[in-house]
A and B are shown apart, each in its own frame.
Chain A
């Protein structure tokens, strides 16, 4: 599971560099997210621009990541592709997450060098 990270002032920007979050990789996705987000800033921005397929296992893994970040940190999503957006919308999980159309709206603070 290839995750690319970039540190911002108040957030970590994590881009999933793979096309699918499905049952074959859901557990690895969760484990890798735990590793790269550990002890980081309060906000975690998950960039899904490259993900064109997310099944219910992948959706469950995203929810699990939100939970393991704990109550003091926030998982936000940005750049959902149409099929992924549809899964979030139909399952109403778009109400549970803050979803940004693109990264421009996700980051208001000054960007620091990763």
Chain B
């Protein structure tokens, strides 16, 4: 987290429909893409907006849990890595609901993925014995592991300076 990250003012809170005249969403709700400010609070508000728009009418509070986790990790990575040198970066988010899953399409114009490919997301090494104090227990490296564990059909491309990540996440699974 940056020192001035979480407690900045309202300008960080901008999450708004990017283009009301843009293509309508297949779910018929007519919501355009979300523009997300590349800050921790921008991510928070994007997730809240995702819940507002896509929580199924008959679903519980937990039905979007996986979608929220995956999207949080994807957006945090863009904030912390792709836009590391451009704190005011713009992230565009397209979410379509189809039956029991969400198709999510995330676009940014920050740095490309290292090597132009997605991280493997292997789990950091841990100690299994809770009786010991695992001084070497990992504090990071979980993000892409969680994305790969919960998302399906993850595709990454870089074209004309734009990163584009698309994937599916099931709704209502634990």
Contact = CB atoms under 8 A, between A and B. Distances in A.
Interface string A44-85: 000000001101110111011011001100000000001100
B40 A23 contact: yes
Interface residues of A, number: 34
Contact of A53 (B6, B41, B68, B123): B68
Interface string B133-152: 11101111011011001100
Contacts, number: 99
Secondary structure dominating the interface of A: helix
A24 B130 contact: no
B126 A24 contact: no
A97 B145 CA distance: 19
Contacts of B133: 66-67, 70-71
A91 interface: yes
A26 interface: yes
Contacts of A20: 44
A64 B139 CA distance: 6
Contacts of B126: 92-93, 95-96
B145 A91 contact: yes
A17 interface: no
A66 B1 contact: no
B44 A22 contact: yes
Given A22-B40, A23-B1, A92 B76 contact: no
Contact of A82 (B44, B65, B76, B143): B65
B92 interface: no
A86 interface: yes
B149 A56 contact: no
B1 A24 contact: yes
A52 B61 CA distance: 9
A56 B40 contact: no
The 5 A-B residue pairs with the shortest CB-CB distance in the complex, in nearest-first order: A24-B40, A83-B65, A56-B142, A60-B139, A71-B133
